Amino acid sequence: MSHHKYILFASEDGVARLTFNRPDRLNSFNTDMHAEVRAALATLPGEARVLVITGAGRGFCAGQDLNDRAVAPGEAAPDLAHSIERNYKPLILALRALPVPVIAAVNGVAAGAGANIALACDLVIAARSASFVQAFSKLGLVPDSGGTWFLPRLVGNARALGLTLLGDKLPAEQAAAWGLIWRCVEDAELMTVVDGLARQFASAPTRGLARTKQAIYEGLNRTLAQQLDIERDYQGELGRSADYAEGVAAFAQKRAPRFTGK
């Protein structure tokens, strides 16, 4: 396990795990925590075939630690645009670009940027007691960390506007019913379910999953004809992979495939 102050980061048996570790502050971000998360993602071990992100204690992530931005009377307010450009924008883009599945295990409140960091992951599994809060309107701000991009695409404009303009808490069960997240499970089952998915991905054909992610995310901005071309190109590439050969051989031999991610 890597040594950090504000996160826990380890990789074993193909599963990398990143835990936000400021439980006394509901795992909200300060500048140093951003740097640690950036470093962890940049050095994701080559043998890792899935990344699990969760929070320590009773929350997933409460977004930005406002104490880190507090100013004394008469002092200049912090430049929020600079913070987004330096910290949140590269984090969201890095999560989306990782060539492995990323699972968010939302174990409690996911608020502000914390909610949108979860939505940037490929699969979101939430405990029944968890909730998602677009808290920005309470501060006179616009949703950041991709919130204005993710929400309309996931739940439509009506629900996106309701969530962002009102800033109400959305329970995990409702989030799953709306299609905002993949699944809501009982609190006691959260990590069992997530660990099972992580093991499944750790033995899956990783290159194919990476191209699937890429095709779906980038396909949002393509025409159908363009997307059919991308599918053709990716299929041609993956058809020459070791995992495809293994999958076909395993099917023919009526046995479980042994994928290596190559």
Over residues 59-72, mean pLDDT: 82
Token pair recorded at residue 47: 């043998």
Write out the two tokens for 31. 């500048």
- Residues 37/90, Cβ–Cβ less than 8 Å: no
Tokens 């795992």, residue located: 27
Please give the Cα distance from 234 to 230 (Å, whole number). Answer: 6
In this predicted model, what pLDDT tens digit does every residue of 89-146 receive, in sequence order?
Answer: 999 999 999 999 999 999 999 999 999 999 999 999 999 999 999 999 999 999 999 9
pTM beyond 0.85: the answer is yes
Task: Flag whether pLDDT at 37 surpasses 70.
Answer: yes
Task: Give the pLDDT mean for 194-200.
Answer: 98
Distance CA(117)–CA(61), nearest Å, equals: 9
SS3 91: helix
CA 150 – CA 153 distance, rounded (Å):
5
Q: Does the pLDDT at position 72 exceed 90?
A: no
Phi-psi region of 160 (alpha: psi -120 to 50; beta: other; left: phi over 0): alpha
Given 3-state DSSP classes, what are the helix, strand and coil percentages for the chain, each rounded to the nearest 5?
Answer: 50, 20, 30
pLDDT band at 79 (very low <50, low <70, confident <90, very high): confident
Q: How many CB atoms lie within 10 A of CB 66?
A: 12
Query: What's the whole-number mean pLDDT along residues 212-222?
Result: 95
User: Among the listed ranges 32-36, 82-86, 167-171, which one has the minimum average pLDDT value?
Assistant: 82-86
Q: Where in the chain do CATH 3.90.226.10 domains reside?
A: 7-202
Q: How far apart are the first and last CA of the chain?
A: 25
Q: Is domain 206-252 in CATH 1.10.12, yes or no? A: yes
Q: How far apart are CA 240 and CA 233, in angstroms?
A: 11
- Sheet containing 50-55: which strands, arranged edge to edge? 7-12, 15-20, 50-55, 102-106, 123-127, 183-185
State the CB neighbour count (10 A cutoff) for residue 101.
23
Mean pLDDT of 237-255: 97
Average of pLDDT values for 191-211? 98
- In the prediction, which pLDDT does 68 show? 74
Contact between 67 and 54 (Cβ < 8 Å): no
Of 83-87, 128-132, 227-231, the one with minimum mean pLDDT is 83-87
* Helical segments of the chain, H only: 31-42, 80-83, 89-97, 113-119, 147-166, 172-178, 190-202, 206-219, 224-238, 242-252
Q: Is the pLDDT at 45 greater than 90, yes or no?
A: no
Q: Is the pLDDT of residue 75 over 90?
A: no
Fold of the 7-202 domain: 2-enoyl-CoA Hydratase; Chain A, domain 1 (3.90.226)
Listed in order, the ranges of the chain carrying CATH 1.10.12 are: 206-252
Q: Could you read off the pLDDT of 5-27 as tens digits, one per residue? A: 999 999 999 999 999 999 999 99
Average pLDDT over residues 218-237: 97
pLDDT at residue 7, as a whole number: 98
What's the longest Cα–Cα distance across the chain?
74
Question: Which pLDDT band, with edges at 50, 70 and 90, does 216 fall under?
Answer: very high
Mean per-residue pLDDT, 49-63: 97
Token output for 192: 């069992």
